[in-house]
A and B are shown apart, each in its own frame.
Chain A
Amino acid sequence: MSAKSLEVLVIPDRIIEQGTLTTTGRRTAVEVRLPWYRALPGSCIAGAKLTIDGVEAPAESLRWRMNGREFDFSELADETGAWWFPTDSAVLSGELPVSPGREHEVRVDLTLFIPYIIISDTETLHIEEHDIKTMKAVAA
């Protein structure tokens, strides 16, 4: 952690939207909120993990849906045209078998780049935030 002036302006308690866990049985999705006060482009959404009842979805199966489009994380890396607005939910999904109708512990980890906070000649501040909530899975 750099000791530069870091505004850590996060709202991490709101990352997971309560009551939004849906599953096909094999693929599972949850709505997530931006833990930051301003919109960020896809290129700044550097990574996510979806973990349910302690089991993490395989990284290559993760998908990110925002503004009606679905991305994998390699596509987001260059995406400066699609922005995550602070009042919008994005949908994070992955291959993870989950039983509908039952309570599950959902954990989401997010890594975001903050594009205007530059902490060295080559480096942009990134923040890692997570949230855990328990909710019932609904059949998609």
Chain B
Amino acid sequence: MTAVDRYAGELGTPIQGVTLYSFTRAFHGREYDLEGLIRKVAADGYGPGLEVIGFSSFRGFPVIEDSFAGWFRDLVEEVGLVTTSLAVNADIGIHRDRLLTQDELIDYMTLQIQAAAKLGFPIARVQISITPDSMEALAPIAEQHGVTLALEVHADQYASHPRILALRDRFAQVRSPFLGFTMDWGATVSGFAPSLIEAYRRRGASEELLAQVTGLWDEFYQQGPPVDQADHGQRFGRFIALAAQNGRPDLGIDFGINGTGLFGSARVADWLEIMPWIRHVHGKFFGIDENGEEPSVPVRDLIRLLVENGYSGAISSEYEGWHWNHWQSPFEIIAGEQALQRSAAADAGSRMITDAGEARSLLQTHLAQPVRG
């Protein structure tokens, strides 16, 4: 049975969850330690799904002592959360003078896959810097530990980007149930985030400049995502030029990075290219407006797409507005986005899963087999 067959005809029931990355500012600012943050996630109902970035939250990662793993698993169990994805990193440039060889990279990733298993995460989120060859080489290691590798499709490399299609085709060829994708909604954004515009306003950018910035992004959105790196580079350059023409060259790189690297301009339906391989979702978003809607991410359309294609894996709400939004608490904003997701699922004729027991059972069906840690 293929993944497509499995989904045919049934509406999906995605599992609600959050990544601790959404709370980076609070954790980095020492307002909450790891235990305090996990307890808050559970108590305030951001779960049941819990995603963690290994190198952000676990001291000494990827080395995980047995006693720590036991403590972590007991805590997650006690508060009624369900571990979904452990975000891992391929630090190919860890030696300053050279990149890791393929063998070194496999060893580096194996340690992190073992850490995921030990901590009880059935998925490891990997990033675009991993090649199809490396993914293929990692598949048996993933299988050995019962950990699915879900490579993140993240702005600016959307689902139909040649690099993603090359990975998809390799997954299809390898036929390992342990290889798939993490869908990041940042690839299919529909507008420049108003909260970022507000942050530029607070940095003294004129209304005229800000209107031009959003106008330029809208122009690129109409054209669709960049066809190649040269096109991407030209768009980046247009943002820099715009800032310079308006007497704010200091903002140019920031406009370029956010306008091309954070707000991806592919359409929602682009995800259909890789839908059967989507194992995990980052519900990337930037803010919630006074009507409870996300003004720049088409959350309702994305949820409908997932539900109608039978997706019953986890969605980690991934709040990215913390980079610039210093004036609002992330906690209420994330609660607002999750309410929007639930409303969207209901509108699509389904529901989001918020019960931990139901979430555990669905995740086991959604993935190839349970994690062996």
Residues of A that sit less than 8 Å from B by CB? 1, 3-11, 14, 33, 37-39, 41, 43-44, 46, 77-78, 80, 83, 85-87, 113-118, 121-122, 124-125
Q: Is the beta-carbon distance between A11 and B261 smaller than 8 angstroms?
A: no
Given contacts A3-B233, A118-B129, is CB(A37)–CB(B24) below 8 Å?
Answer: yes
Q: Is the beta-carbon distance between B28 and A11 smaller than 8 angstroms?
A: yes
Which chain B residue shows the least CB distance to A13?
Answer: B326
Q: Pick from B56, B91, B92: contact of A37, CB below 8 A.
A: B56
Q: How far is the CB of A38 from chain B (nearest CB, A)?
A: 4
Q: Is the beta-carbon distance between A80 and B95 smaller than 8 angstroms?
A: yes
Q: How far is the CB of B79 from chain A (nearest CB, A)?
A: 21
Residues of B that sit less than 8 Å from A by CB? 21, 24-25, 27-30, 33, 53, 55-56, 59-61, 89-96, 99, 127, 129, 154-157, 229, 232-233, 235-237, 253-254, 256-257, 260-262, 323
Known contacts A6-B257, A39-B61, then 16 further A-B pairs from the complex at CB < 8 Å, ordered by chain A residue: A5-B155, A6-B261, A7-B261, A9-B24, A14-B28, A14-B29, A37-B53, A38-B89, A39-B56, A39-B59, A78-B95, A80-B94, A85-B59, A118-B92, A118-B99, A124-B96
Q: Is the beta-carbon distance between A38 and B99 smaller than 8 angstroms?
A: no
Q: Pick from A7, A10, A38, A44: contact of B94, CB below 8 A.
A: A44
* CA A1 to CA B260, docked complex, whole Å: 14
Q: Is the beta-carbon distance between B93 and A86 smaller than 8 angstroms?
A: no
Q: Is the beta-carbon distance between A116 and B157 smaller than 8 angstroms?
A: no
Q: Is the beta-carbon distance between A5 and B157 smaller than 8 angstroms?
A: yes
Q: How far is the CB of A14 from chain B (nearest CB, A)?
A: 7
Which chain B residue shows the least CB distance to A121?
Answer: B99
Given contacts A9-B323, A39-B56, A80-B94, is CB(A4)–CB(B229) below 8 Å?
Answer: yes
* CA A46 to CA B21, docked complex, whole Å: 25
Q: How far is the CB of A15 from chain B (nearest CB, A)?
A: 12
Q: Is the beta-carbon distance between A8 and B28 smaller than 8 angstroms?
A: no
Q: Pick from B25, B253, B323: contact of A1, CB below 8 A.
A: B253
* CA A124 to CA B98, docked complex, whole Å: 9
Q: Pick from B56, B95, B155, B237: contact of A38, CB below 8 A.
A: B56
Residues of A within 8 A of B93 (CB): 113-118, 124-125
Number of A-B contacts (CB under 8 A): 98
Q: How far is the CB of A20 from chain B (nearest CB, A)?
A: 14
Residues of A within 8 A of B59 (CB): 39, 85
Residues of A within 8 A of B155 (CB): 5
* CA A133 to CA B229, docked complex, whole Å: 39
Given contacts A85-B59, A116-B129, A118-B129, is CB(A8)–CB(B94) below 8 Å?
Answer: no
Which chain A residue shows the least CB distance to B128?
Answer: A5
Given contacts A1-B253, A43-B95, A113-B96, is CB(A87)–CB(B229) below 8 Å?
Answer: no
Q: How far is the CB of B350 from chain A (nearest CB, A)?
A: 32
Residues of B within 8 A of A9 (CB): 24, 323
Q: Is the beta-carbon distance between B232 and A3 smaller than 8 angstroms?
A: yes
Pick from B155, B235, B262 the residue with the most CB of A within 10 Å.
B262
Q: Is the beta-carbon distance between A3 and B96 smaller than 8 angstroms?
A: no
Given contacts A3-B232, A3-B260, A86-B28, is CB(A38)–CB(B96) below 8 Å?
Answer: no
Q: Pick from B30, B92, B95: contact of A87, CB below 8 A.
A: B30
Pick from B89, B90, B94, B323 the residue with the most CB of A within 10 Å.
B94
Q: Pick from A4, A77, A83, A87: contact of B28, CB below 8 A.
A: A87
Pick from B29, B90, B91 the residue with the most CB of A within 10 Å.
B91
Residues of A within 8 A of B25 (CB): 11
Q: Is the beta-carbon distance between B92 and A115 smaller than 8 angstroms?
A: yes
Which chain B residue shows the least CB distance to A76?
Answer: B96
* CA A1 to CA B253, docked complex, whole Å: 8
* CA A118 to CA B131, docked complex, whole Å: 12
Residues of A within 8 A of B236 (CB): 3
Shortest 4 CB-CB distances between A and B: which pairs? Answer: A124-B93, A3-B236, A115-B91, A3-B233
